[in-house]
Amino acid sequence: MAQSFLRRLAFILLLLASGLAAAAAPGPEAEVRQAWQLLDYIAVDYAGAVQGGKVISAGEYAEMREFSATARERIAALPGNSKQADLLGQADALIALVERKAADADVARNAHALATDLLAAYGVAAAPAQTPDVAAGKALYAQQCAACHGASGHGDGPAGAQLDPPPIAFTDADRASQRSPLALYEAISRGVPGTSMPAYSQLTDAQRWALAFYVGGLAFSDAQRAQGEQLWKHGTPDLRAALPSLPTLVQASEQQLAQRLDPQQAQAVLAFLRAQPQALTAAAGKQATSLELARTKLRQAVDAYAQNDAKQAATLALSAYLDGVEPVEPQISARDAELLRAIETAMGKLRSDIGKGMPPAQVEADAAQALALFERADAALQGSSGSWMAAFLGSLTILLREGLEALLIRSWSASSPSCARPNAAKR
């Protein structure tokens, strides 16, 4: 605990000593999301353009070539960071696959991998702030979507009869197997160019996520959901490790998950968790809640920095560690001490770069690195919630932390009444 105290003291001194006067430009989130949407479109629709190394639709193939080139152009135009060169290399590889009319599975795999890495490199949030309310999504679907897509999602709504192209049938199992809730969320949020699908920007973020989860479950049957519930409750550790957190579930398609699990299990588990995503967050328990807080604070820090509020960004970044990571440090350390050191290093670099006034793209990349490590921590923490020793150590850490911070505040108050605890308003 002495080392923990010294680390915290160093963090606070760094915040006090740094200028915290970074001039930040608006973040690239909109451009990143648009490039992501292009890549997801390629992954899903390429099979309709090329099969067996031959073009089966000249129009679709021209579109695939255009979109792959445009995605690369969008990535090249983003603010530079340490991951951009790798992303451009992946984009070049994807273009080459499309040009030589490669197998649709290879194109989909590469497009999905590039899309995932793109979000991580620029720290763009790929998960809802809270667990989606699927029941609310069902009600929204009836109000907003059923007229075109049909009451049951077959694409047969009365208002969609004259539309060209026709509305998507969410019950199309082949197409649904390639779509993640994130892909559906993006389509709901931004609309689909070249179709009658508008952007539903008037809905709140929570409503759009609720809709994405509801329509993402329409291709599954009640029997599949029931089977998935039993698998989730009594399945192997490998199954839970494949879906350790809400961000992972949000980005998971049936096709991608089948690369790690038995295809039938992948289908059933996704059927259940898209209908009841709260089952995943409940299983993760208090530890995941703590890391979710860390994720939220990190994303808020990046947003604040992009809005030229470096002081608030520094406060939020520190809170992400003290309030989100430190309470579960003993559990993470017990399972993977090297991972804990990597998390501490990544978050320390984030705070340091904020203090130095580094470009916003660098701060976004720092946050993305920390968020990727949190994913590994989620997996490491699976099954640890039942350990009484881990729970005891976690509680002891919190008590000692609060006591040490109180002692530090009293010491500062005695020497400099104007000093205030950096995160006092956030507790």
> Measuring CA to CA, how many Å separate 412 from each of 3, 4, 6, 84, 401?
20, 19, 15, 43, 16
Interval 183-240: pLDDT, tens: 999 999 988 877 889 999 899 999 999 999 999 999 999 999 999 999 998 877 677 7
Give the span between the Cα atoms of 427 and 411, in whole angstroms. 20
Neighbours of 41 (CB within 10 A): 21
Residues paired with residue 51 on neighbouring β-strands, in sequence order: 54
- How high is the pLDDT of residue 233? 87
Judge residue 46's burial from the number of C-beta atoms within 10 Å of its C-beta, 0-12 exposed, 13-18 middle, 19 or more buried.
buried
Neighbours of 17 (CB within 10 A): 9
Residues paired with residue 50 on neighbouring β-strands, in sequence order: 55
Give the span between the Cα atoms of 174 and 178, in whole angstroms. 7
Give the span between the Cα atoms of 385 and 283, in whole angstroms. 9
Interval 355-368: pLDDT, tens: 999 999 999 999 99
- How high is the pLDDT of residue 353? 94
Q: Which range is least confidently modeled, 137-146, 314-323, 352-361?
A: 314-323
DSSP letters, 408-425, are: HHHHHHHH-TT---TTGG
Interval 74-92: pLDDT, tens: 999 999 988 999 999 999 9
Q: pTM above the 0.85 mark?
A: no
Yes or no: say if 125 and 205 are a contact pair by the CB < 8 Å rule.
no
- Tell me which H or E stretch contains 182: helix 181-190
Which of helix, strand or coil describes residue 80?
coil
Q: How confident is the model at residue 369 (pLDDT cuts 50, 70, 90)?
A: very high
Q: HSE of 45 in the Cβ direction (CA atoms, 13 Å)?
A: 18
* pLDDT over threshold 50, residue 398: no
Crossing angle (nearest 10°) for helices 360-381 and 104-121:
110
Give the span between the Cα atoms of 308 and 26, in whole angstroms. 9
CA angle (247, 394, 237) in 5-degree steps:
45
Neighbours of 275 (CB within 10 A): 22
Interval 271-319: pLDDT, tens: 999 999 998 876 554 445 678 788 888 988 999 999 999 999 999 999 8
Burial 239-257 (b: 16+ CB within 10 A, else e): bbbbbbbbbbbbbbbbbbb
> Measuring CA to CA, how many Å separate 395 from each of 281, 322, 331, 390?
21, 14, 11, 9
Mean per-residue pLDDT of the chain: 81
Percent of the chain predicted with pLDDT > 90: 48
- How high is the pLDDT of residue 129? 76
Q: Tell which residue, 400, 421, 426, 321, has the closest CA to residue 367.
A: 321
Judge residue 165's burial from the number of C-beta atoms within 10 Å of its C-beta, 0-12 exposed, 13-18 middle, 19 or more buried.
exposed
CA angle (35, 37, 42) in 5-degree steps:
100
Q: What is the mean pLDDT of residues 257-273?
A: 92
Interval 17-54: pLDDT, tens: 343 333 333 458 888 988 998 998 898 889 999 999 99
* Region at 194 (left for phi over 0; alpha for psi -120 to 50; beta for the rest): left
Q: What is the mean pLDDT of residues 47-76?
A: 94
Structure tokens at 383: 């099954």
Q: What is the mean pLDDT of residues 161-169?
A: 90
Amino acid at 83: K
